Amino acid sequence: MARISPSVLSADFLTFKDDIKEFEAAGVDMLHIDVMDGIFVPNISFGNPLIKSIKKHTNIPLDVHLMIDRPHRYIDEFAKYADYLGFHYEAGSDNVETLKRIRELGCKSCITIKPATPPESIYDLLDLCDMVLVMSVEPGFGGQKFLPSALEKLSKLRAECQRRNLDIELEVDGGINNETAPLAVDAGATVLVAGSYVFSAEDISAKIQEIKNL
């Protein structure tokens, strides 16, 4: 059974505290938090003050996804509240040193790749990763359609991890719903990021269980 990480980007923040209670009751595995700077991606979301606030109100692990330029500059700050801390392979950091620093600060490390980036590009980084995030949409906005090319990437990454006996979570983000979730899991995904599909539901807990049971 895959783990579920609802994307906070799709939340209504005036009622989000109630959503957190539903997530806890539904057994959500982590909360996915997209940090966007308007430079690396053409959108601006939120920063550490919001993450700090969420951390105060829940014990659900926080899965922080940095969609920002040169993320190494902010790793120390975000690591104060993140449980999983990830950044983009394409974002202009020293990827090796940034992954090492995340682990030094006590977080699980994650590298993320865009749809156009081949999975082979990060094979030499896998030993430094606790999780790899495969984007199944172009990063920056919620509500996009799932790109099937992500399935081949997940399969290749799973095969490489198995070949090297690496215990790494494979996360997929973008367009996850009742149709695409089983495909992603069959391809090797162990963590599903679900945004609008979860938050648009009248009964969030039921929607979470639906995905878990697929």
Instruction: Report, as residue numbers or ranges, the catalytic residues.
Output: 34, 173
Which helix (H) or strand (E) element contains residue 131?
strand 131-135
d(CA 209, CA 195): 15
Alpha helices in 7-70 (DSSP H): 16-26, 48-57
* Strand ranges (E), 136-209: 169-173, 191-194
Q: Which of 66, 50, 136, 134 is nearest to 101 (CA)?
A: 66
d(CA 208, CA 24): 11
Q: In what order do the strands lie in the sheet with 108-113?
A: 3-6, 191-194, 169-173, 131-135, 108-113, 84-88, 62-67, 31-36
Beta bridge mates, 170: 132
Tell me the residue type at 33.
Answer: I
Which helix (H) or strand (E) element contains residue 58?
none
| DSSP string over 80-96 | TT-SEEEEETTSSS-HH
